[in-house]
């Protein structure tokens, strides 16, 4: 078995390099990566704080992550494992963030919806890379050759701070969306769903329903 | 009397071991899943995870960057005593959690739910959780003066759910909620499967959650419930989960459940509470027994669910009760 194709990719990728990627390719990254999740998005987009990096010049790779790391008293950093957090929660900020930061690679856990890809990623020429597992924290930690900087850690805490990581052959990541906005996860979901009716045979829905999962206020718990 | 310094130093070692060393029972279970997995992408993911465990051990770095929520289970033999008492023990476990967060390092995950205050050490209000169990003197034991310290680092966001079912829902309803939970959190791999699935049945809402979580985190892969009919259900549910057609990361495959553990508690006569929990690809647990003489033995099997923990009725017909009656 040959397995999936493996690709090295810069964190400031050319449009041609991105166009060449196919869903399911395995990617290893070289260059600067920065972490940004709810803390950074809220600070940069809602509080309008100045982003403390030159984006996308220094890096076009936004990692939904906070590393297992510490800042030593002498100001140096020790970084252990690196694992992503689930990206779907950042849908409300991602379009504005990409417009502002010029990010071409959004890296995280679990991808986002194809609707998000079509609305936000495609116009910005960006793709989504998912981490593997989850998570290969030790392997990704090995791919970080150094910590360039940690911004906003006093304001946001270590887990929400903007970590700037020097990646060298850092991976594996999997190409989850392409420039056309297709999603690998949704493609796989469709294949699996086709089999589910059979798996569910011999089961029955719960007698007591749940209220509030639709906006229909006339719903009842029974019936 | 167990010295408090032994409690704290042992707890720090446990935090380190849990974060870095995948337990052998889970590793064997995952290897077995990898051996039969034929989905292209799922296979790649499982191989990457196996490499990741090796890398973590070689580098002595955490296997997963998301530390989850470190917590403690403390089981005490009936004759155990700790220097400074249980308040000192709790303080030692909190200190060990903070020290190891900075030392390994682990990710400081714990924040205030509203103000998002972060002490950068995984300690805060109610964090880490510390739960207790007690054990009578065992056969052949002179004194149960030991303490088992167990730490579990379980992911905190996805893979767990609760539902109030009723006797009329029956096994079909239990299967339905089980499948719903696996499919819902399995898509895109949010549950970080293949996982040890723990199911709690009965109790009250809170104890149902506790039972399911303990079934996932405190029983090893390959263990069976002592009730043979429940053990048969565990086997059936494992196979059912692996027949969904979903593997690691929600890719097409057949490895969803490394093992399925079910624990039960007596519930209200009208109800049949159910909870489902997924202990992930980084099933982090480590155990140490500290004996009364201060000796420490490390292991990975919490051995939590003894006959005593599952006792059915009023009297415990064990050694301790007989002695007390003499």
Widest distance between CA atoms in chain A: 65
State which residue of chain A sits closest to B176, comparing Cα positions: A203
B104 vs A80, A110, A206: nearest CB: A80
- Whether residue B67 and residue A189 make contact (CB cut-off 8 A), yes or no, is no
For an interface test with A, the pick among B111, B112, B239, B249 (most A C-beta atoms closer than 10 Å) comes out as B249
Q: What is the residue-averaged pLDDT of chain B?
A: 95
- Quote the pLDDT of residue A213: 87
Burial of B324 (0-12, 13-18, 19+ CB in 10 A): exposed
pLDDT band at B319 (very low <50, low <70, confident <90, very high): low
A221 close to B (CB below 8 A): no
| Residues lower than pLDDT 50 in chain A | none
What average pLDDT score do residues B76-95 get? 98
The domain tally of chain A equals: 1
A87 close to B (CB below 8 A): no
| Neighbouring-strand partners of residue A107 | A63, A129
For an interface test with B, the pick among A71, A80, A86, A88 (most B C-beta atoms closer than 10 Å) comes out as A80
- Whether residue A188 and residue B251 make contact (CB cut-off 8 A), yes or no, is yes
Please list every residue in chain A whose beta carbon sits closer than 8 Å to the beta carbon of residue B44. Answer: 3-4, 26, 132, 172
Which DSSP string corresponds to A142-183? HTEEEEEEEESHHHH-TTTSEEEEEEEEEEEEEE-B-TT--B
pLDDT band at B320 (very low <50, low <70, confident <90, very high): low
pLDDT tens digits, one per residue of A88-101: 999 999 999 999 99
Q: Is residue A194 part of a domain?
A: no
Q: Is residue A159 part of a domain?
A: yes
Query: Taking the domains of chain B in order of start, what are their residue ranges?
Result: 4-16+63-154+285-325, 156-279
Which DSSP string corresponds to B127-176? BS-EEEEEEPPPTT-S----EEEEEEEE-SSSS-EEEEE-GGGHHHHHHH
Please list every residue in chain B whose beta carbon sits closer than 8 Å to the beta carbon of residue A138. Answer: 52-53, 55-56, 59, 61-63
A136 vs B43, B52, B183: nearest CB: B52
Number of H helices, E strands in chain A: 8, 9
User: Minimal Cα–Cα distance from A118 to chain B, Å?
Assistant: 18
User: The domain that contains A61 carries what CATH number?
Assistant: 3.20.130.10
B289-300 exposure pattern, b = at least 16 Cβ within 10 A, e = fewer: bbbbeeebeeeb
- The domain containing residue A65 runs over which residues? 6-183
A111 vs B51, B188, B246: nearest CB: B188
- Whether residue B252 and residue A70 make contact (CB cut-off 8 A), yes or no, is no
Tell whether the model's pLDDT for residue B323 goes beyond 60: no
- Quote the pLDDT of residue B326: 46
What average pLDDT score do residues B123-128 get? 98
* Structure tokens, B66: 């998301």
E strands, chain B, in order: 69-77, 130-135, 147-154, 161-165, 195-202, 257-265, 272-279, 284-290, 296-299
For an interface test with A, the pick among B98, B99, B116, B188 (most A C-beta atoms closer than 10 Å) comes out as B188
Return d(Cα B286, Cα B274) in angstroms, integer: 27
Show which of residues 159-218 on chain A sit within 8 Å of chain B, judged by CB atoms. Answer: 159-160, 172, 174, 185, 188-189, 191-192, 195-196, 199-200, 202-208
Q: Is residue A67 part of a domain?
A: yes
Report how far apart, in Å, the C-alpha atoms of B173 and of each of A164, A212, B189 are: 49, 21, 24
- Whether residue B105 and residue A130 make contact (CB cut-off 8 A), yes or no, is no
């Amino acid at each position: 078995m040959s397995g999936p194709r493996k690709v090295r990719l810069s964190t400031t990728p050319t449009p041609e390099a991105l166009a060449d990627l196919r869903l399911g390719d395995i990617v290893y990254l070289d260059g600067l990566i920065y972490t940004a999740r709810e803390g950074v998005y809220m600070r940069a987009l809602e509080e309008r704080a100045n982003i403390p990096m030159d984006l996308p010049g220094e890096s076009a790779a936004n990692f939904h992550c906070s590393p297992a790391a510490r800042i030593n008293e002498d100001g140096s950093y020790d970084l252990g494992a690196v694992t992503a957090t689930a990206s779907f929660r950042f849908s409300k900020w991602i379009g504005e963030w990409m417009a502002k930061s010029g990010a071409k690679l959004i890296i995280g856990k679990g991808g986002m919806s194809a609707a998000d890809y079509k609305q936000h990623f495609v116009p910005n020429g960006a793709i989504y890379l998912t981490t593997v597992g989850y998570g290969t924290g030790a392997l990704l930690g090995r791919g970080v050759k150094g910590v360039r900087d940690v911004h906003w850690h006093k304001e946001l805490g270590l887990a929400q701070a903007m970590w700037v990581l020097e990646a060298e052959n850092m991976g594996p990541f999997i190409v989850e969306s392409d420039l056309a906005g297709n999603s690998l996860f949704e493609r796989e979901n469709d294949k699996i769903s086709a089999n589910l009716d059979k798996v569910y045979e011999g089961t029955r829905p719960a007698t007591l329903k749940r209220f509030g999962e639709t906006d229909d206020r006339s719903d009842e718990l029974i019936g | 009397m167990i010295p408090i310094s032994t409690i704290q130093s042992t707890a720090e070692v446990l935090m380190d071991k849990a974060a870095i060393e995948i337990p052998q029972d889970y590793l064997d279970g995952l290897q077995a899943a990898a051996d039969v997995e034929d989905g292209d992408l799922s296979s790649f993911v499982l191989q990457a995870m196996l490499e990741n465990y090796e890398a973590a051990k070689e580098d002595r770095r955490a296997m997963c960057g998301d530390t989850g929520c470190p917590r403690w289970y403390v089981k005490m033999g009936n004759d155990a005593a700790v220097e400074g008492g249980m308040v000192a023990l709790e303080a030692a476990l909190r200190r060990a959690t903070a020290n190891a967060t900075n030392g390994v390092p682990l990710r400081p995950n714990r924040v205030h739910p509203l103000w998002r205050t972060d002490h950068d050490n995984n300690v805060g209000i109610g964090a880490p959780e510390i739960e207790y169990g007690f054990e009578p003197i065992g056969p052949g034991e002179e004194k149960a003066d030991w303490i088992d310290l167990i730490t579990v680092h379980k992911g905190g966001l996805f893979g767990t759910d609760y539902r109030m079912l009723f006797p009329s829902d029956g096994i079909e309803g239990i299967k339905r909620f089980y499948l719903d939970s696996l499919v819902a959190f399995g898509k895109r791999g949010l549950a970080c499967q293949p996982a040890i699935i723990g199911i709690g049945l009965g109790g009250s809402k809170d104890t149902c959650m506790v039972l399911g979580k303990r079934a996932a985190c405190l029983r090893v892969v390959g263990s069976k419930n002592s009730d043979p009919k429940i053990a048969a259900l565990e086997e059936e549910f494992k196979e059912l989960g692996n027949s969904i057609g979903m593997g690691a990361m929600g890719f097409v495959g057949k490895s969803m459940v490394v093992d399925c553990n079910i624990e039960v508690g007596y519930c209200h006569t009208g109800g049949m509470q159910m909870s489902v929990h997924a202990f992930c690809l980084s099933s982090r647990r480590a155990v140490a027994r500290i004996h009364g003489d201060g000796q420490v033995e490390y292991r990975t099997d919490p051995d939590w669910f003894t006959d005593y923990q599952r006792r059915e009725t009023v009297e415990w017909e064990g050694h301790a009760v007989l002695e007390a009656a003499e």
